[in-house]
A = this chain, B = another copy of it.
Amino acid sequence: MITIKDIAARLKVSPSTVGRALADDSRISAATKQRVIEVASEMGYVANLAARMMRGVSSNLVGLVLPDIRNGFYSTIAHALSKCLEGGGFQLTLSETDDDRLTELHHIRELTSANVAGIIIVPTARPHPESVKLLKALPHIQLLRRHAALGEQWFGIDDTEAIYEATNHLVQLGHHRIGYVGGTDDLPTGSARLKGFHKALPRDETVVPAFVHLGAPGSVDFGREATRRLLSLTTPPTAIVAASVQTTQGVLEELTVQGVHAPDDLSVVGFGDEMGFRWWGPGLTTVGLPVSDLATACGLWFVHHIKQHSFTSAPYTSISPATLIVRGSTRQLGAVSGETANSPLHDTAN
């Protein structure tokens, strides 16, 4: 391994001069800098990160903490962030929490001791107090979900509006007995979406409790289970709103298994736009989310502030809007087959 000492010896200057030249210190002559840089690259010098870190400089590692990378949502985010951070000279580390606060804590501890430059996190419902403490000492941003204790720096989507759009679309089509399958309201996203659901229902309408099913948003099985329950009611709903990617998957799977056809038997609106959603039945009407753009914006902001050392805890919030993508899985209540022909090939976004 080539060290600055080696370079110094070769150039017959002191190690500190070399160090300063490499750091582009203002009080080193241009000529010396020039020579140092030449020799350094010639000898194949690579700075020793460990040594640098020991001097208090943080690493070029950025921790990404999220529930489960297999969720298309999160892998899109990881990809976009990876690209942004790479541009800024950072490396992404991946930590999966499985929505468990202790796993989350464990990972945050690890990241802290690895001296990461910062953390981008999709927090669990109730982060452990120690996680909160550790994060306070680090530059960090919350993504998608926001927990008050973790600060005001957040990039997310307008969850309430997204589900409002979805539900309202059904209401406009004449549905009033609408089932809801989504995340528990202890999660900020879960409660925001549920709020959107309620907001879209006509005022005088009493929400039927049996129509609302809340569970783990990351669980496909919960989606299936909830759908099963909804279908087995004596007067089942005429439409279903799924309020997370995985519950959408669960709903679709269960409907397929039970041979329930959309939109003839039931209208369905999903959440997110995974590859397969457009292929399901007549094409799934769903809420499209600008996840990639969101992550890119977040990454750029992060890199910018880290580089400027301007990572204050000043509140910053960015809310991206969702758009409803109308395909074939929703229809006017009571309309017969073929009346509103939505081809899956000609999506309508509004």
Residues on A lying within 8 angstroms of B by beta carbon are 46-51, 53-54, 59-61, 64, 68-70, 72, 75-76, 78-79, 82-83, 86, 91-96, 106-107, 109-115, 249, 252, 256-257, 274-281, 344-345
Contacts and interface: CB of A to CB of B under 8 A. Distances in A.
B256 A113 contact: no
Contacts of A111: 91
Nearest to A111: B91
Q: Which of A53, A75, A107, A280 has the most CB of B within 10 A?
A: A75
A197 B69 CA distance: 33
13 contacts: A50-B50, A50-B51, A50-B54, A54-B54, A59-B114, A64-B94, A69-B78, A70-B79, A72-B75, A93-B94, A252-B279, A256-B279, A256-B345
A48 B55 CA distance: 12
A228 to B, nearest CB: 15
Contacts of A72: 70, 72, 75
Nearest to A59: B114
Q: Which 9 A-B pairs have the closest CB atoms?
A: A276-B276, A50-B53, A75-B75, A46-B113, A279-B280, A50-B54, A93-B93, A279-B279, A275-B276
A275 B249 contact: yes
A113 B47 contact: yes
Contacts of A76: 70
A275 B270 CA distance: 15
A256 B343 CA distance: 11
A61 B249 contact: no
Contacts of A249: 275
A69 B292 CA distance: 13
Contacts of A50: 49-51, 53-54, 59, 115
Given A70-B79, A91-B111, 20 more contacts: A46-B109, A47-B113, A49-B113, A49-B114, A50-B115, A53-B53, A59-B114, A69-B69, A69-B79, A72-B72, A82-B94, A86-B106, A92-B94, A93-B94, A249-B275, A257-B345, A274-B275, A275-B276, A276-B280, A279-B280
A256 to B, nearest CB: 7
A345 B259 CA distance: 9
B48 A54 contact: yes
A96 B79 contact: yes
B68 A79 contact: yes
Contact of A114 (B91, B109, B112): B91
A115 B109 CA distance: 19
A277 to B, nearest CB: 7
Contact of A75 (B70, B86, B280): B70
A91 B96 contact: no
Contacts of A47: 113
Contacts of A252: 279
A342 to B, nearest CB: 14
Contact of A93 (B51, B69, B91, B109): B91
B93 A92 contact: yes
Given A79-B68, A344-B256, A49 B275 contact: no
A29 to B, nearest CB: 27
